Amino acid sequence: MFDVIAVPVDGSEYGFKAADVAIEIAQKFNSKIAAVHVLEEFSFSSYDEEEDSGDAILAKITQKASKVGIEVTEHLLTADPLRDMKFIVDQTHANLVVIHAHGANNKRFVSFEENEVSDTQIGSVSERLLRTSDVPVLLVK
């Protein structure tokens, strides 16, 4: 049913929770995972620092999935996540996207307590992907 499950991750607690859900689904459907981390085009950090961080985030997912026999393809890309996520997901040939509702924004973790975020709100990347994706999107809260 789902040959490839795309899971965009940003290194936040929510992103890793979405990856856990994607791994569970992949086990049930014998799917592969396309783990995606986007390096933002304009960042205040050095590219090398951002790349190292992205590699570490993807490696965590690959390691966890590999332990249960799930194949992972890592995608570390420079793009605008808000503008380009649908295109990125399309390029992974995913049949399903598992994405978190909230995430990090320029290293500021979105926290319900600290920022008074309502549990009915979702992040801009997730919201746009929900509206534009041609494949099912599973939103993890």
CB 107 within 8 A of CB 12: no
Residue 39 DSSP code: E
Over its length of 141 residues, how does the chain's per-residue pLDDT go in tens digits?
899 999 999 998 889 999 999 999 999 999 999 999 998 776 666 767 888 999 999 999 999 999 999 999 999 998 888 888 889 999 999 999 999 987 655 344 444 455 555 556 678 888 888 888 999 999 998
> 137-140 and 104-105 as β-strands: parallel, antiparallel, unpaired?
unpaired
| pLDDT reported for residue 102 | 77
Reported as type and span, the H/E element at residue 5 is strand 4-8
> Which strand (E) or helix (H) includes residue 70?
none
Query: Residue 111's pLDDT is what?
Result: 45
Please give the pLDDT value at position 107: 42
pLDDT at 117: 52
Query: Can you give the pLDDT at residue 109?
Result: 40
Contact 88, 75 (CB under 8 A): yes
CA separation, residue 47 to residues 60, 65, 113 (Å): 20, 27, 31
Q: Which domains does the chain have, with CATH numbers?
A: 4-140 (3.40.50.620)
Burial zone of 136 (CB within 10 Å; 0-12 exposed, 13-18 middle, 19+ buried): exposed
